Structure 1
Amino acid sequence: MDNPSPEPRTVAWQDIPQWRQENEYILAGYRPMKANYLQVIKSLSFLHNETWNVYTHLIGAVLLPPYATAILRTISGPQYIDVTRTDFIMFNIFFCSAESCLSSSAVYHLIGCHSHEAEQLWHRRDLLGIVILTVGTFIPGIYYIFYCDPILQKIHWTIVCHSGHLDTLSAVVFCGSATAALISIPKFRTLRWRKARVSAYVALGASALIPLLHGVQVYGLEYMLEYSGMKWYLVELLLYGGGCGIYAVRTLSFPFPSGISVMREISDLGAQFRIPERIAPGHFDIWFSSHQIFHVSILCAICVNVIALMEAFTACHTLDICYIQSVHQARGTRL
């Protein structure tokens, strides 16, 4: 009697369920469906088309806590003047939001071959991680841009939070609530709310420009480029923006029994961003696909944001930044 052949480690695109067929340009390297979580975890030991997606953010999630600890020790150094508890809160908001994003992303890409229910659950958490990281980036950035003007800080926190009148750091708890609700609550994941979901993502991302442009208006471009970390925020926006179209098409598509996708109307337009696999289908199944590149861009953006925060923090705690702001503000008024 012949022994049954072992299950292949990976299968082709046509061999996976329809709800997993998100990218028709990735032709192979898919893991078969695995009802056992242990088998899912074992897939960490061999190469498949989610390996890069899992490990980039898994390694990032593991390395981030010691990196954050080193940064927090640095900002507590004697070279910095008048460092307060709020400074540590601001840095921790960013690091915790980044950890949430990276860990949720790693689990989502690992668990996707378990079941449709598990994939959908972690899909939503992955999306929420993006919202949390976006807001967690804004909060400390706004704090240091308007370091000497608490009123402007709270105004911009309120804009980001979309939660009405917020006048304390408790605003952080409610940040991005509109976007988070549109992702998490089943009622809002129907076709009726499609435009609202897309609009919420676009509005949340675009709101990053509001404090930067306002800072330029109040203090001038020279100040913003030299002291606020703005040049690094612009690099960060480019890194996020470079993969935004890829991510939006892939992750905002919630399949329904009818086969209709929430983003189907724009999927044909968005598919053109799936480069390089769109140019050479089958050649980027394992390495260098568009979503993998986007994962790397997220890691780079996190590092760039730390540079921006450190630049602004250093200016605020080694210079008389309020005097410098007033000089630039007066200069702008005269102009």
Structure 2
Amino acid sequence: MLSVKLPRLMEIHEVPKDFWEESIISGYRSPRSSITDCILSLFQLNNETLNIWTHFLAAWYFLWRLLVFTQTNDIWRDSYTWPAMAFMVTCCGYPLASSFAHTFNTMSVFTRHICFFIDYAALSLYSLGSGIAYSAYVFPDKWVNSLLHHVYVPCSVCNSLITVTLACWSRLTEPQSPRLSKAVRILAFTYPYLYDSIPLLYRMFLCSGKGCTYNQAVPSHCVHLLLAAVTVTLFTLHLPERLAPGRFDYVGHSHQLFHLSSVLATITQLEAILMDMQLRRGHKATLGRIPPSVASSWGALAMGIFLNLIVIIAFSLHMLTFLQSPCGINCYKNRVKQS
């Protein structure tokens, strides 16, 4: 009979520090895995298995929602649907990029960096997609066609560039300053989220009187904000594995919980945006708004993708040059010895 030999799993002391995860002791894959090893590891319980599958399955769910949306709306002639579609494309992209990164990041140090550069870019584009949708459907009536409304999407494009640049740069500082690296990465993804949420937070907590657009979508927005806060907390504190190192190596560590909470947050965000989209179509207070255009939806997303690609290529070339230099080789060898 044909038998398949699954890759051997390793303890933390058997892999270089570049591959260490905080408070995770066992279940590591070889840092020199082949493509076949990486694919086989999808069907082997290791400390990355659930990280991969939680986002891979989520990507298919969001793709299904996107296909249903295209079949139930006149997407070719109705420009009002374009921001929602742009957002849904980014919802498909970030979990797919994340599952790809977690699957293949153990092939080499260089591959590990490239995988997570792509992951960071997908997250920054998801933030941009949120901004595009919020501009079209979530802005309070009082702010429609204001100066902030006009510059909101262009600033979201700039934020996407800042996010991916900071996140990729944080990987360069990780060997020397892991705490600084983590802080920069948290800032890189928190800042654009807070910016995107300005109209939503104002509409929900500060706006009073007419023009505040309180409707049935608000409870879903509240749940989304709560889940987003849980997601950031899990990513920052590394709970519960920090309380019991080695006990949650395979199931239940913070990155798995972080993946689940992020997916649930995106699902509730999507529901809230689609609800606002339906409820506010033709709303008398927003009839005077500038309608969504190719430039404000697909154009903004395309610009974000282009800028993110430039950043990924630039950091990848820098990382390749560094790892091939005597300094990079010696640094890596020292880190292997220290592990």
- 1:64-103 counterparts in 2 under 5 A? 64-76=62-74, 85-103=78-96
Q: Is residue 2:286 matched to residue 1:286? A: no
- Pick the aligned partner of 2:191 from 176, 184, 203: 203
Q: Which amino acid aligns with 1:70?
A: V
- 1:135-146 counterparts in 2 under 5 A? 135-146=128-139
Q: Is residue 2:161 matched to residue 1:177? A: yes
Give secondary structure in 2 for the equivalent of 1:226: coil
Which one has more relative contact order, counting CA pairs under 8 Å at least 6 apart?
2
Cα distance 1:7–1:44, how it changes in 2: closer, same or farther (>3 A)? closer
The Cα of 1:86 is off from its aligned counterpart by 2.4
Q: Which has the larger displacement, 83-92 or 53-62?
A: 83-92
The Cα of 1:183 is off from its aligned counterpart by 3.2
Aligned residue number for residue 229 of structure 2: 241
The Cα of 1:88 is off from its aligned counterpart by 2.2
Aligned residue number for residue 253 of structure 1: none
Q: Where in structure 1 are there 5+ consecutive unaligned residues?
A: 1-5, 78-82, 163-171, 248-269, 326-335
Contact in 2 for aligned 1:239/1:300 (Cα 8 Å): yes
Aligned residue number for residue 276 of structure 1: 240
1:248-290 CA-to-partner distances (Å, cap 9, x unmatched) read: xxxxxxxxxxxxxxxxxxxxxx5xx211112222221111111
The Cα of 1:159 is off from its aligned counterpart by 4.3
1:103-161 CA-to-partner distances (Å, cap 9, x unmatched) read: 11001111121111000111111122222112211221221134866523x72463464
Cα distance 1:41–1:200, how it changes in 2: closer, same or farther (>3 A)? closer
Cα distance 1:8–1:58, how it changes in 2: closer, same or farther (>3 A)? closer
Q: Is residue 2:121 matched to residue 1:123? A: no
TM-score, normalising length: structure 2: 0.70
Contact in 2 for aligned 1:50/1:286 (Cα 8 Å): yes
Aligned residue number for residue 310 of structure 1: 274
Cα distance 1:74–1:10, how it changes in 2: closer, same or farther (>3 A)? same
Q: Which amino acid aligns with 1:230?
A: V
Aligned residue number for residue 332 of structure 2: none
Aligned residue number for residue 151 of structure 1: 145
Contact in 2 for aligned 1:139/1:157 (Cα 8 Å): no
The Cα of 1:221 is off from its aligned counterpart by 8.9
Matches of 2:169 and 2:241 in 1, distance apart?
33
Aligned residue number for residue 166 of structure 1: none
Q: State the aligned residue count.
A: 278
Aligned residue number for residue 264 of structure 1: none
Matches of 1:300 and 1:53 in 2, distance apart?
15
Q: Which amino acid aligns with 2:251?
A: W
Matches of 2:271 and 2:27 in 1, distance apart?
37
The Cα of 1:96 is off from its aligned counterpart by 1.2
Contact in 2 for aligned 1:97/1:129 (Cα 8 Å): yes
CA RMSD in angstroms comes to 3.4
Q: Which has the larger displacement, 302-311 or 183-192?
A: 183-192
Cα distance 1:87–1:322, how it changes in 2: closer, same or farther (>3 A)? closer
Q: Which amino acid aligns with 1:134?
A: S
Matches of 1:313 and 1:289 in 2, distance apart?
36
Matches of 1:64 and 1:199 in 2, distance apart?
26
Q: Is residue 2:262 matched to residue 1:298? A: yes
Give secondary structure in 2 for the equivalent of 1:142: helix
Contact in 2 for aligned 1:10/1:30 (Cα 8 Å): yes
Matches of 1:197 and 1:26 in 2, distance apart?
20
Q: Which amino acid aligns with 2:82?
A: I
Q: Where in structure 2 are there 5+ consecutive unaligned residues?
A: 290-339
Matches of 1:295 and 1:14 in 2, distance apart?
26
Q: Which amino acid aligns with 1:183?
A: A
